[in-house]
Amino acid sequence: MTHDVHIIGGGLAGSEAAWQLAQRGAKVRISEMRGGGDMTPAHQTDGLAELVCSNSFRSDDDERNAVGLLHHELRRLDSIIMAAGEDARVPAGSAMAVDRDAFSANVERILMEHPNVTVVRERVDALPESGLTIVATGPLTAASLAESIVAATGQDRLAFFDAIAPIVHRESIDMDICWFQSRWDKGDGKDYINCPMTKDQYLAFHQGLLDGDKTEFKEWESNTPYFEGCMPIEVMASRGVDTLRFGPMKPVGLDNPRDTTPEFPQGRWPHAVVQLRQDNKLGTLWNMVGFQTKLKHGAQVELFRTIPGLENAEFARLGGLHRNTFLNSPLVLDRQMRLKSAPHIRFAGQITGCEGYVESATVGLLTGLMAAADLADRPWEAPPATSAMGALLSHITGDAEAETYQPMNVNFGLFPPLHDVKKKQRKEAYTNRAKDDFGKWLSRMELAPA
């Protein structure tokens, strides 16, 4: 099949871009190096749209939450990522979490069956010199292609570290110590497994994080900052003894059913709590929420088995650390995600500096729509900056300062402010304005699926 658009990378962004183009009649070639003899430091399979970190798409509440609003907008544009995620959904309170293997299989099956999509297992070592192209190789772009990108942009890559959380076999968790509960009983009320800690247990664990044997950085990794939204737990611990208790180990909203025992003199809530979230539909695998880590594997097993209820934990996957790279997008990309020095090439996904699964898919979706407009010789109008998609796109393509550009999740801080609305009503006002403006944009652009 000859193609209209070449997509390099079969992750969430590349898969979403391919779907949007194919649904609009464009012939698409996806080049994915995994499965062709190459692998990244973080991936475990060659499946399209593999989730390499958490299995959560975060909040699915589209009423007063920016990421939930982004879910809403993705669904309105017939997102393959949201549809495949819904079919692979597992309980996670008010969040949307998926069985990662089922999710990837869903995306791959849908794309492989589409008559307008061809998937080729091959590594691309240089940016194409011609033809509409979308580069969605993610934050783990192969070295040869990364060098080609640097040569084309004239700017060195920015880089940060991203860490992966461990996954525990459910049957190895001691439920005589742990209990099921969502914070403040949200969702079904029992979507998380909670491991309680006394003050002494927490202080010993905190010290263990500081003292544990950690992955050593290579020379090329020196002076590379962490992304604040995916901070290794031992780095958080180094910021203060109570930092974790106000972060991933916060106990508030979790009523320990054993809180009357002498081990828990604090009263209603434990001193600290480790939460685990279901990772697959069968409920056999649970990931340790917020426990991204760069501890060496032996140190992880030793320390994490000191957590009450995890004394005999068996790990399906231990945590890890990898280096992520991304473009200084406000400097090198135009408002349509095109490389200023080579406008036939667009970039999508995490390589642009967005952070998060749904954000990556969103940028892929938008670049797919932009390329489809090019093919149809139709004018392109960006989604309104008052929408979640528009706010994220504005941040990437120019609203952020190039000198201080950092990866960003979607949040209401990216939206045009509503100073005349009271603070308690502001999130709802942002949401109502976004839904109204986004709906009008869909109608003008005739983008809503039939």
Strand partners, 159: 325
**What CA–CA distance (Å, rounded) separates 36 from 122?**
5
Q: Are 118 and 30 in contact (CB under 8 A)?
A: yes
Can you tell me which residue has the tokens 């000191």?
306
Q: Please give the full DSSP string across 400-413, using - where no structure is assigned.
A: S-GGG---B---GG
**What CA–CA distance (Å, rounded) separates 404 from 398?**
12
The Cβ-side half-sphere exposure at 305, using a 13 Å CA radius, reads: 14
**What CA–CA distance (Å, rounded) separates 365 from 98?**
20
* CA angle 335–341–344, rounded 5-degree value: 70
Radius of gyration of the chain (CA): 22
Q: Which spans in 266-337 are helix H? A: 297-304, 329-332
Q: Are 69 and 33 in contact (CB under 8 A)?
A: no
Feature table: binding site: 9-14
Q: Which residues contact 180 (CB under 8 A, 6 or more apart)?
A: 190, 191, 192, 193, 194
**What CA–CA distance (Å, rounded) separates 255 from 183?**
9
Feature table: binding site for FAD: 9-14
Element (H, E) at 105: helix 100-113
Q: Are 81 and 74 in contact (CB under 8 A)?
A: yes
